[in-house]
């Protein structure tokens, strides 16, 4: 086994020097940092900008964590995509790396909230279909590396600068498009509209389309009609659900998990005071 590994690395180094490979790796890391930053910023703000009437607030801590996780994944993929000489190895290896990092991140989040989590099978269901997208991302990353390498070899400074600017623009555009996938669909918007209607009304006697669990209902009712902000993120433990943190002007904060398929009738089974579900 060790002999085969030794032979593999010997063949790899015969094909291309480590210095040439590291040059591609550095480009891949740079693309990952820029793309990850743009993605995190767009993903954090797209819903706040798109739906100003939903009282949504930007969760900057979540945005920073997203940037770090995405950047680390892209940096790892950049290394694996940039190192091999053969593009097929680079694309497949990078795609598998991104998928594994995504699965590990979801697994850590699942373990951290295991008490309120569903089956681990749900984590697999939400992660494994991303294999194809990750392979495409690795392919785009390798093509970006190749384009930058070709542009850097251009002798005309104006042409080189123009090509590099175009490539940078494409990286930013891909990050923006990726971030837009975090935009809520119609069912999530309908659910949040119903939740807003409930929080803005002080009437607790009329029938409501929104139902809080009995263990928190009486406390939440005290804050109906206050100013508030909603911090929304995808549920880490349940597919097709959102974790919604409601922060009122009085300082009272509560987090509930709400299915995105709830529609205008929102029945919450899991709520906990504070910023996290327990």
Q: Using one digit for the tens of pLDDT, what is the confidence trace for 211-235?
A: 898 889 889 999 999 999 999 988 7
Rounded to whole angstroms, how far apart are CA atoms 97 and 138? 9
Q: What is the pLDDT of residue 196?
A: 93
pLDDT at 43 over 80: yes
The three-class DSSP label of residue 276 is coil
- Which pLDDT tens digit goes with each residue over 168-206? 888 888 889 888 888 888 888 888 998 999 999 888 888
Output the pTM of the full model: 0.74
Overall average pLDDT of the 28-53 stretch: 89
| Mean pLDDT across the chain | 79
Task: Return the closest-CA partner of residue 117 out of 106, 128, 131, 127.
Answer: 106
Query: Measured between alpha carbons, how far is residue 251 from residues 36, 88, 144, 200, 242 in Å?
Result: 33, 54, 47, 16, 22
Token pair in block for residue 68:
């770090």
Distance CA 233, CA 254 (A): 14
Residue ranges of domains in the chain: 2-180, 186-273
Nearest Cα residue to 97 out of 35, 32, 146, 145: 32
Residue 252 has pLDDT above 90, yes or no: yes
Collect all residues with Cβ–Cβ distance below 8 Å to 87 and sequence separation of at least 6.
Answer: 142
**Alpha-helix runs per DSSP H in 51-130:** 60-82, 87-112, 120-127
Helix (H, G, I), strand (E, B) or coil at 51: coil
Q: Which residues of 127-149 are buried (b: 16+ CB within 10 A; e: fewer)?
A: beebbeebbebbbbbbebbebbe
DSSP letter at 249?
T
C-alpha 166, offset from chain centre: 25
Phi first, then psi: give them for residue 222, nearest 5 degrees. Answer: -65, -20
């Amino acid at each position: 086994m060790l002999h085969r590994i030794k032979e593999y690395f010997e063949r790899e180094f015969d094909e291309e020097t480590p210095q040439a490979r590291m040059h591609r790796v550095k480009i891949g890391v740079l693309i990952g940092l820029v793309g990850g930053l743009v993605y995190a910023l767009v993903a954090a703000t797209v819903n706040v900008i798109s739906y100003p009437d939903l009282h949504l607030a930007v969760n900057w801590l979540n945005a920073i964590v997203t940037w770090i996780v995405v950047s680390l994944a892209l940096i790892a993929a950049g290394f694996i995509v940039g190192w091999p000489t053969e593009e097929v190895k680079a694309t497949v290896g990078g795609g598998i790396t991104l998928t594994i990092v995504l699965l590990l991140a979801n697994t850590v989040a699942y373990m951290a909230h295991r008490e309120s989590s569903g089956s681990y099978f749900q984590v697999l269901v939400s992660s494994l279909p991303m294999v194809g997208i990750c392979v495409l991302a690795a392919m785009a990353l390798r093509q970006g590396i190749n384009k930058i390498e070709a542009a850097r070899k251009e002798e005309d400074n104006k042409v080189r600068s123009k090509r590099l600017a175009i490539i940078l623009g494409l990286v930013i555009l891909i990050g923006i498009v990726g971030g837009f996938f975090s935009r809520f669909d119609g069912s999530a918007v309908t659910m949040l509209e119903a939740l807003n209607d409930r929080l803005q009304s002080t009437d607790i006697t009329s029938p409501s389309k929104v139902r809080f669990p009995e263990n928190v209902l009486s406390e939440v009712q005290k804050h109906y009609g206050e100013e508030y902000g909603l911090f929304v993120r995808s549920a880490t433990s349940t597919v097709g659900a959102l974790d919604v943190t409601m922060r009122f002007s009085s300082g009272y904060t509560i987090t509930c998990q709400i299915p995105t398929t709830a529609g205008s009738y929102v029945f919450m089974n899991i709520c906990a005071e504070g910023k996290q579900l327990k």
